[in-house]
Amino acid sequence: MVELKFNESGTDAVYLANVNILFAIVFSLAIFNNDWREDKLGSKSFLQKCIDWFRQMYEGGRTGNRLHVAARKTARNELNQHIRKILYYVGIFGDEGDVTALINSGVVAIRKRTRNRKPPKAANRNQQ
């Protein structure tokens, strides 16, 4: 199993560009065309609506509309949840070609799990 991580940092404009790149790649994957679980991950039209909702709230928030700014944060969080589910599914069930295509997109990286090894604490012998 490969653990994939989406680059979700940066401003909303950078995030929107990364989302557009990611979903262009996801919609062309072999796993998306053959073994996609629409009930769990969403169909292409559903995912496109999520992207469009974030885009509309982003453009509305640029004018200073506070309702759109609040909705943009909600839309970004919802889109992040969908992206995490998709990357987890592709990491488990996708073949090497799917994972390679995502990594070559530049917005997805392999997440390496490393444990920080802490040195053992010295015993305090001065206690009475």
**Mind listing the pLDDT tens digit for each residue in 60-93?**
888 877 888 888 889 999 999 999 999 999 888 8
Q: Give domain status of residue 39, yes or no.
A: yes
The whole-number pLDDT of residue 77 equals 92
Tens of pLDDT, residue by residue, the chain (128 residues)? 678 888 888 888 899 999 999 999 999 888 888 888 888 888 888 999 999 999 988 888 888 778 888 888 899 999 999 999 999 998 888 888 888 888 888 888 887 776 677 777 776 767 65
Question: How many residues are recorded in the chain?
Answer: 128
- Asked whether residue 121 is domain-assigned, the answer is no
The parent domain of residue 45 ranges over: 4-110
Would you state the pLDDT for residue 127?
Answer: 61
Q: Looking at residue 114, what is its pLDDT?
A: 67
Domain assignment of residue 45, yes or no: yes
The DSSP-derived string for the chain is ---EEE---S-HHHHHHHHHHHHHHHTTSHHHHHS--HHHH--HHHHHHHHHHHHHHHHHHTTT-HHHHHHHHHHHHHHHHHHHHHHHHHHHH--HHHHHHHHHTSSEEEPP--PPPPPPPPP-TT--
Is position 128 within any domain?
no
- Residue 79 lies inside a defined structural domain of this protein: yes
Give residue 128's pLDDT.
56
- Tell me if 60 is assigned to some domain: yes
Task: With beta carbons less than 8 A apart as the criterion, state whether 93 and 31 touch.
Answer: yes
Domain count, the chain: 1
